[in-house]
């Protein structure tokens, strides 16, 4: 993330499953161990863990906002032998109908020195739910409650490591610069009581109950009118917020004055107000006012202790970074592989093989062809700087600020759209076989 802090990159919204977890198994350490440290990849604020399912290595997003383990987008090369299968239907975020899935029981999950026996999961059959293209890395599934319930889970976003501890003998360290808060649970999902301020000059603290959602890359979601004082600020813009299990989620994006987590105060966090039609299932828990997402969690070292219903926050390396949103208006996605010609090396020779003044020097270049990632504009926010500059949905981005995008990861490219206001962005795009160059400046339309 370098010198800036990224809030919502693609606003991936990970799922409120219309069922509780059904696994009768548990995760445990092998060989008498009491601790396991695991490195993870961080993409768009989301934690991606490599976990084997029945011997097949897969990538999972660690999401405290789900009660059931999910698999999706499995292709022949990712084939997994699943046990004890039956068809079911699931309902999640989005305004569309429930989706078809397969419930599988009795599976084995392994990573490091940890084994999860007799695990249940849902295989989503709808291949339109595709997180991989939006993250630029292959994602096979989502896991949450089943892992959190069996360990004390300590997440360090700065070092990109998670420590799993055996809860029986774990004792929280005394920490004067930390904040320990209570957790409550509804349908296996953790909730926390915090406070918000509606604007920067307000002194009134509004109490809110939020789902702790490590699988949502936004900073905050608030449900409009779930509390008399939770109202959309005057300045906002309508935006695509992400993909849920039951369809696309839209809403309003803006800032609020502050978020208060115990003694910690985070000033002017970005916040989204999702449309009511997209969150009807989430609103079944009447006490809930919204979600606290990964853009907030990333600013802390966070320790989840489900057994004792506690959560510990300690300032992390990103704590002081400002909250920003994607000011370009571009939703960029992975577009598969393209064949790229690369210069390998050059050999130098003489035209007639003799070293005289009249000889011609020949540079014999060798090239190799390799498959490199390609990225395209999936959507554009109307009225955004990129939209006003003339860019179009479907444009394939070839260069950004003079650098070829096939040499970059999706996360790095999109990060440039989260830089400070008035930063110049230069793009070369391919459209119908021709290259076009565009320039625009990032603009914060909320201030």
Mean pLDDT for 121-146 is 82
More confident residue, 67 or 181: 181
- Assess whether pLDDT exceeds 60 at residue 233: yes
Provide the pLDDT for residue 441: 98
Provide the pLDDT for residue 6: 30
pLDDT band at 91 (very low <50, low <70, confident <90, very high): low
Copy the structure tokens of residue 174: 């005394």
Measured CA to CA, the distance from residue 445 to residue 384 in angstroms comes to: 9
Copy the structure tokens of residue 42: 């961080």
Provide the pLDDT for residue 137: 85
Q: pLDDT per residue over 254-293, tens digit each?
A: 999 999 999 999 999 999 999 877 676 667 778 999 999 9
Copy the structure tokens of residue 352: 């007639």
pLDDT band at 2 (very low <50, low <70, confident <90, very high): very low
- Assess whether pLDDT exceeds 60 at residue 246: no
Contact 345, 382 (CB under 8 A): no
Copy the structure tokens of residue 370: 């390799």
% pLDDT > 70, the chain: 81
- Nearest to 328, CA basis, from 266, 395, 278, 373: 395
Measured CA to CA, the distance from residue 65 to residue 13 in angstroms comes to: 10
Q: pLDDT per residue over 420-439, tens digit each?
A: 999 999 999 999 999 999 99
Mean pLDDT for 345-359 is 52
pTM: 0.84
Provide the pLDDT for residue 81: 81
Mean pLDDT for 171-194 is 92
More confident residue, 159 or 24: 159
Provide the pLDDT for residue 92: 56
- Assess whether pLDDT exceeds 60 at residue 89: yes
Provide the pLDDT for residue 12: 40
Q: Could you write out the DSSP letters of every residue in 370-407?
A: EEEEEEEEEEE-TTSHHHHHT--TTPEEEEETTEEGGG
Measured CA to CA, the distance from residue 278 to residue 175 in angstroms comes to: 40
Contact 300, 313 (CB under 8 A): yes
- Assess whether pLDDT exceeds 70 at residue 343: no
pLDDT band at 68 (very low <50, low <70, confident <90, very high): confident
Provide the pLDDT for residue 358: 52
pLDDT band at 3 (very low <50, low <70, confident <90, very high): very low
Q: pLDDT per residue over 378-400, tens digit each?
A: 989 999 999 999 999 999 999 99
More confident residue, 5 or 163: 163
Find the largest Cα–Cα distance for the chain. 90
Provide the pLDDT for residue 256: 96
Q: What is the average pLDDT value for the chain, to the nearest integer? A: 84
Mean pLDDT for 13-26 is 52
- Nearest to 252, CA basis, from 265, 271, 267: 271
Size of the chain in residues: 447
* φ, ψ of residue 406 in degrees (nearest 5): -70, -10
pLDDT band at 178 (very low <50, low <70, confident <90, very high): very high
pLDDT band at 11 (very low <50, low <70, confident <90, very high): very low
Provide the pLDDT for residue 75: 57
Provide the pLDDT for residue 135: 80
Residue in the structure block whose two tokens are 């598969």: 336
Provide the pLDDT for residue 365: 58
Kindly list the structural domains of the chain, giving each domain's residue range(s) and its CATH number in brackets, ordered by start: 26-167 (2.40.70.10), 176-315 (2.40.70.10), 330-441 (2.30.42.10)
Measured CA to CA, the distance from residue 43 to residue 24 in angstroms comes to: 31
């Amino acid at each position: 993330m370098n010198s800036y802090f990224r809030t919502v990159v693609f606003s991936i919204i990970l799922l409120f499953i219309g069922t509780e977890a059904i696994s009768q198994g548990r995760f445990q350490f092998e060989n008498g161990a009491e601790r396991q440290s695991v490195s993870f990849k961080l993409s768009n604020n989301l934690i991606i863990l490599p976990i084997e399912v029945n011997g097949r290595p897969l990538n999972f997003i660690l999401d405290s906002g789900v009660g059931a383990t999910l698999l999706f987008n499995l292709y022949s090369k990712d084939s997994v032998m699943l046990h004890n299968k039956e068809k079911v239907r699931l309902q999640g975020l989005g305004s569309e109908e429930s989706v078809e899935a397969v419930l599988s029981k009795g599976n084995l999950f392994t990573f490091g020195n940890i084994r999860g026996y007799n695990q249940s999961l849902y295989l989503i059959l709808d291949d339109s739910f595709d997180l991989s293209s939006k993250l630029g890395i292959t994602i096979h599934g989502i896991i949450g409650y089943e892992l959190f319930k069996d360990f004390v889970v300590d997440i360090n976003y700065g070092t990109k490591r998670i420590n799993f501890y055996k809860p029986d003998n774990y004792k929280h360290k005394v920490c004067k610069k930390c904040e320990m808060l209570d957790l409550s649970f509804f349908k296996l999902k953790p909730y926390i009581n915090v406070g918000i301020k509606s604007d920067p000059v307000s002194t009134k603290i509004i109490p809110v109950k939020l789902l702790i959602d490590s699988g949502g890359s936004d900073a905050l979601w608030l449900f409009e009118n779930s509390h008399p004082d939770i109202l959309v600020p005057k300045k906002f813009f309508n935006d695509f917020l992400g993909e849920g299990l039951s369809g696309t989620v839209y809403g309003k994006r803006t800032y609020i004055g502050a978020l208060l987590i115990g003694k910690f105060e985070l000033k002017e966090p970005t916040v989204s107000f999702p449309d009511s039609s997209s969150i009807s299932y989430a609103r079944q828990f009447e006490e809930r006012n919204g979600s606290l997402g990964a853009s907030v969690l990333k600013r802390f070292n966070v320790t989840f202790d489900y057994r004792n219903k506690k959560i510990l926050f300690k300032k992390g390396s990103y704590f002081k970074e400002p909250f920003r949103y994607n000011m370009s208006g571009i939703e960029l996605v992975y577009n598969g592989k393209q064949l790229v010609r690369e210069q390998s090396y050059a050999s130098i020779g003489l035209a007639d093989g003799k070293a005289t003044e009249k000889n011609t020097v020949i540079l014999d270049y060798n090239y190799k062809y390799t498959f490199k990632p390609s990225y395209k504009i999936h959507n554009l926010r109307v009225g955004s700087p990129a939209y006003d500059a003339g860019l179009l949905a479907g444009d394939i981005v070839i260069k950004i600020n003079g650098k070829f995008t096939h040499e970059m990861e999706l996360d790095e490219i999109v990060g440039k759209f989260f830089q400070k206001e008035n930063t110049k962005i230069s793009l070369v795009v391919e459209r119908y076989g021709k290259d076009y160059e565009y320039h625009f400046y990032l603009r914060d339309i909320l201030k």
